[in-house]
Structure 1
Amino acid sequence: MSNTLTKVGREFAFKQILLMIVVVFIITLTVYFFWGFLHAKSAFVGGFVAIVPNMIFAYKAFRYAGAQSSSKVMESFYSGVKFKMLYTALLFALALKFLVLIPAAFLTTYCVVVFLPLLLPVFLIKNN
């Protein structure tokens, strides 16, 4: 599993997840100061529900690399996608069933974190 081809992908995924965590904490603190604890808790849970499945996907997707293990690469990628979808649905259901949340704060933070990877390559790619 210590393949050098996967190192770049793992590093990028780690930076992406770290930046997502920072954004969630910034949003949570901002919401706390403007609207209070319940809104901030809802925002934090929304970010948590978005980040955890991404972490699972990154772990699964970057396990293999190279032409000789192309079937393992595809299998691990599809497995990562399946687990990401499963954990997203599970965390959504658990959060909405067992926690008292403000839906607007929860869903807004969730959506921000889900769409953040579309913008991150602009900020994380090195300028050569």
Structure 2
Amino acid sequence: MDARTPNRTPFHRLPAFPVLLLQCLVMLGVAAILWFFQGPVAGYSGLLGGLIALVPNAYFAYRVYRYSGARSARAIVRELYSGEAGKLILTAALFVLVWVGVKPLEVAAVFGGYLAVLAVGASALLIVRGFPKH
């Protein structure tokens, strides 16, 4: 096997999947709560904010977990750096797309959805640790 052997684990079996799943559920919950209490503009604004956090996180998880094993250590480190750079660029691009392309938009709801999804990612170690292994 090559030192840079791709990980053939399905995406739903990756260690980051429980975190991404919880981020998705939080995003949908925040959007539903905003929609119910503040109206449809706040609802879709919160959903977009959550997507701005979720999509780059999923990209990062895909990049980082592409390789596995001790012989892939250099490839994994390289993917960490390029995945983080891509995540930052993707986040900035999504914010620009939302600000420019979506009208009307509730700014507070966008940031609320974004921060709620980010908070789930910040507690990722606790989430992954408590997730049962199959």
**What range is the shorter-chain TM-score in?**
0.7 to 0.9
Contact 2:18 2:131 in 1 (8 A): no
**1:92 — aligned with what?**
95
2:72 pairs, out of 69, 73, 85, with 69
CA distance in 2 between counterparts of 1:116 and 1:37 reads 24
CA offsets 1:40-70 (integer angstroms, 9 cap, x no match): 0100000011100001000001111222222
Contact 2:14 2:65 in 1 (8 A): no
**1:45 — aligned with what?**
48
1:83 paired with 2:71, answer: no
Contact 1:17 1:51 in 2 (8 A): yes
1:111 paired with 2:111, answer: no
Report the count of equivalent residues: 124
- Identity, % of aligned positions: 31
Contact 1:3 1:65 in 2 (8 A): no
Contact 1:28 1:44 in 2 (8 A): yes
Q: 1:124 to 1:95 in 2, by over 3 A?
A: same
CA distance in 2 between counterparts of 1:127 and 1:94 reads 34
Gaps of 5+ in 2: 1-5
CA distance in 1 between counterparts of 2:131 and 2:107 reads 39
Q: 1:90 to 1:31 in 2, by over 3 A?
A: same
Gaps of 5+ in 1: none
1:115 CA drift (Å)? 1.9
SS of alignment partner, residue 125 of structure 1: helix
**2:106 — aligned with what?**
102
RMSD: 2.0
Compare the two structures and name the one with the higher helix fraction. Answer: 1
1:57 paired with 2:60, answer: yes
**2:129 — aligned with what?**
125
SS of alignment partner, residue 12 of structure 1: coil
Structure 1: which amino acid aligns with 2:68?
A
